[in-house]
Amino acid sequence: MPKDFVDEFFELKQGLLNGYFHPIQQAACGLLIASMGLQADQIDKLRRVLDQCLTDALYTVLLGLDGCGQIGHKQVDYRLSDELGNALAGSGSVSGQIEAAAYEAFHSHDRA
């Protein structure tokens, strides 16, 4: 289940990134990008920068929720469960599973 949880974060990242550069359904960030009047190669570079920024932010949050990293200035062992009460983080039996799934999802070359 931690993998499913992480996959939702990865899908969130992809959806945000695609929305920023969608010609019709632009979010506020997309409107700012469109107003910059960038050339195609500049748009590609900006997309890669934003892709990495979203990866860094979401990966950091996931590691923080798993107790494997800091969110802000504190590292806390959170107890995280799904709606059925199944532990995703914070239990000795699942500790580190979000970290492993997050690394695979966000840093695997197969999903890039």
Q: Where are the domains of the chain?
A: 2-107
Instruction: Say how far apart CA 67 and CA 76 lie, in whole Å.
Output: 5
Residues with Cβ within 8 Å of 60's Cβ and at least 6 positions away in sequence, in order, are 69, 70, 71
H, E, C per residue of 61-110 = HHHHHCCCCCECCECCCCCEECCCCCEEECCCCCCCHHHHHHHHHHHCCC
Tens of pLDDT, residue by residue over 48-95, are 999 999 999 999 999 999 888 899 998 888 888 888 888 888 765 566
Does the pLDDT at position 112 exceed 50?
no
Cα 31–Cα 55–Cα 83 angle in degrees, nearest 5: 100
Question: Residue 90 in contact with residue 67, Cβ under 8 Å?
Answer: yes
